[in-house]
Structure 1
Amino acid sequence: MNFAAFDLNLLHVFDALMRERSVTRAGEALGLSQPAVSAALNRLRHLLDDQLFVRRGNDMVPTPRSEDLAEPIREALAKLETALIGDRFFDPRAAERTFTLLGADFFSMLLMPELATRIAAKAPNIAVRFLDSAKGDITRLLQEDVIDAALERPLTTPDWIATELMFDSPFAIIASADHPAIAGKLVPGTALPLDLFCEMPHAIRSIDGSMQGYIDDALSSLGRRRKVSLALPHFQSVALVVAKGKFIAAVPSQFARVVAPSLNLAIFEPPIPVPVPEIKLYWHSRHTNNPAHRWLRQEIMEAVRFIWNTGDRP
């Protein structure tokens, strides 16, 4: 292979295929047609003497050779982009690209309407897609540039992942306002009695099937436990189940305030002190000084502050 004559644009195609595992989605990310991506892949296969990606169902699965090349190519492209762009001004009005975020439905419901409106007004050719937390390991997704940023509770991450605190998210307990054990007996806004809290069946949001969380750790320190009877992957489904009248649930207080009026839910304080999770923004540090990525992070933080200050607190 004559590297001097190598088309570096092929590396962008390779990187997009590694992220998207689809010729069609890689083309959409790069602004190329499907035939153009296929042609580039064929050139890469010829130059590198490897299939690189093998079709399996609807996905393009990387070969071992591609797995070996992925990180060095991704790092090289990031360094080139930083070197060429540096701290130049980013013009969102002229930019054409797609940003990918990841988080719970808590964020897609509370934050994305405001963030999407802001981005649409300032950057009409920028698209945003929001992936569910169940998509996979955040460290891997950031390392492979599958996502630009993640919005999550505290995580244990390697040093190369950068973070910024967005807001604190204390827990609230939601129950149907008509629940027979609560209606007319307890005042919303107060703490649920501990014995009642432990006796009532709980629904929890869990993306990995785990049946415990922050609340259970706090109860365990007091020698108590609650009755977790249902685990669901989304906060919205938890709220809908609670509205049916049997279950109660511990959810982020900001989420509780948003859904309570429409679902006729009563909101209570936990019966014991529970550590307050810090909601953070996570991204790969190689993008810290990238002007487009910096603009995205700034828009996210401004959207959070706006919602916070207007009372629709995220």
Structure 2
Amino acid sequence: MNFNALDLNLIRVFDALMRERSVTRAGDRIGLSQPAVSAALNRLRHIFNDSLFVRQGNEMLPTPRAAELGEPARLALAEIEGMVRTVRGLELTELKRIFTLIGADFFSTLLMPHLAHKIYAQAPLVKMRLLDSARGDVARLLQDNAVDMALERPLEMPDWISKQLLFRSPFVIIASARNPALDGVSERTAMPLTVFSSLPHAIRSIDGTLSGMVDEALASHGLSRNVSLALPHFHAVALAVAQSTHIAAVPVQFANAVGENLGLRCFVPPIDVPVPDVNLYWHCRYDEDLAHRWMRSQILEATEELNFPIAEASATE
């Protein structure tokens, strides 16, 4: 193979296919038609003397040779893109980029609609998508350029992951307004520990685990609760609580946003539960990337505009 004759756009096509596992989606990602992607794939197969991708159902699965090439291709493209963006500067009206975030449905409900409006007003050619936090290991996804940023509670991260505090997210306890066990208990006051202990609990759990931060806090007092329902999304937890005698601990911002529409009441936990930070994580290779820095600033502004202040310390404020 004559390297001087290699079209580097073919590597962009290869990387898009590795990420999307679909000719159509790969084309959408890099702005090429399906026939153009197919033609590029044929050229890649000739260059590497390998099928690279084989169809299985609706997906194009990488061969072992493609899997071997995937990470070097991602890293090389990231270096080239970073170099070009640093030299050219940033023109928002001309910026064409897809930003992929990962986080809980908390963010798809509360953050993304407002953020999308902000971004479109400044950079109408920019596209955004939010992946569910169950997608996989955050550090690996950031390393592989599968996602640009992660919106997560504190995680143990390697030193090549950068982070910024977005806001603090105290827990409140939600219950149906029709739950008879809470008759006579004033909303936004502490839920009696006897009621808290006697009622069934629902929790948001992406892997089915039946415990969380609240259980750790209870255990420090020699207490426990009855977790009888685990669901992968906060909204599903809220719906379950609205239709049953279950109660649940959820972020105060989420409870404030959906509580009235779902007929929920909010209470303070009967014990002290640590208030978790919500951080924005990204790979340090993008620390100085102008477009990445701009998007990070927009996410921070959006959380402030939605009254997710860093200093928020309790559910009763």
TM-score between the two structures when normalised by the length of structure 2: 0.94
Percent identity, aligned pairs only? Answer: 58
1:88 Cα deviation after fit: 4.2
Q: Is 1:68 aligned to residue 74 of structure 2?
A: no
1:82 Cα deviation after fit: 2.1
Quick check: 74-83 or 222-231, which moved more? 74-83
**Structure 1, residues 281-302: CA drift from partner, whole Å, max 9, x if none?**
1112212221111111111111
Corresponding position of 1:301: 300
**CA distance 1:142–1:211, change in 2 (3 Å):** same
**CA distance 1:309–1:248, change in 2 (3 Å):** closer
Count of equivalent residues: 310
8 Å CA contact 1:177–1:264 kept in 2: the answer is yes
Q: Distance in 2 between matches of 1:143 and 1:124?
A: 27
8 Å CA contact 1:20–1:146 kept in 2: the answer is no
Secondary structure in 2 matching 1:209: coil
Q: Distance in 2 between matches of 1:85 and 1:230?
A: 48
Corresponding position of 1:28: 28
**CA distance 1:87–1:191, change in 2 (3 Å):** farther
**CA distance 1:92–1:69, change in 2 (3 Å):** same
Q: Is 1:15 aligned to residue 15 of structure 2?
A: yes
Alignment of 1:1-314 (within 5 A): 1-86=1-86, 88-183=88-183, 185-308=184-307
Secondary structure in 2 matching 1:67: helix
**Structure 1, residues 34-63: CA drift from partner, whole Å, max 9, x if none?**
111111111111101111112121111112
Unaligned runs of 5+ in 1: none
Quick check: 196-205 or 286-295, which moved more? 286-295
8 Å CA contact 2:45–2:51 kept in 1: the answer is yes
Q: State the AA in 1 paired with 2:85.
A: I
Unaligned runs of 5+ in 2: 313-317
Q: Distance in 2 between matches of 1:298 and 1:55?
A: 40
8 Å CA contact 1:90–1:295 kept in 2: the answer is no
Q: Distance in 1 between matches of 2:217 and 2:308?
A: 31
1:224 Cα deviation after fit: 1.0
Q: Distance in 2 between matches of 1:151 and 1:174?
A: 23
Q: State the AA in 1 paired with 2:219.
A: S
RMSD: 1.5
Q: Distance in 2 between matches of 1:87 and 1:7?
A: 22
1:18 Cα deviation after fit: 1.1
Q: Distance in 2 between matches of 1:186 and 1:258?
A: 22
Quick check: 269-278 or 62-71, which moved more? 62-71
Quick check: 203-212 or 129-138, which moved more? 129-138
8 Å CA contact 1:218–1:273 kept in 2: the answer is yes
Q: Distance in 1 between matches of 2:67 and 2:96?
A: 28
TM-score between the two structures when normalised by the length of structure 1: 0.95
Quick check: 165-174 or 238-247, which moved more? 238-247
Q: Distance in 1 between matches of 2:87 and 2:102?
A: 26
Q: State the AA in 1 paired with 2:151.
A: L
Secondary structure in 2 matching 1:279: strand
8 Å CA contact 1:88–1:291 kept in 2: the answer is no
8 Å CA contact 1:87–1:290 kept in 2: the answer is no
8 Å CA contact 2:253–2:308 kept in 1: the answer is no
**Structure 1, residues 252-301: CA drift from partner, whole Å, max 9, x if none?**
01101111111121111111111111101111221222111111111111
Secondary structure in 2 matching 1:308: coil
Secondary structure in 1 matching 2:256: helix
Q: Distance in 2 between matches of 1:248 and 1:121?
A: 40
1:76 Cα deviation after fit: 1.4
Corresponding position of 2:315: none
1:309 Cα deviation after fit: 7.3
Secondary structure in 2 matching 1:212: coil
Q: Distance in 1 between matches of 2:259 and 2:108?
A: 17
1:87 Cα deviation after fit: 5.8
Secondary structure in 2 matching 1:195: helix
8 Å CA contact 1:175–1:265 kept in 2: the answer is yes
Q: Distance in 2 between matches of 1:105 and 1:243?
A: 18
8 Å CA contact 2:174–2:250 kept in 1: the answer is yes
1:73 Cα deviation after fit: 1.6
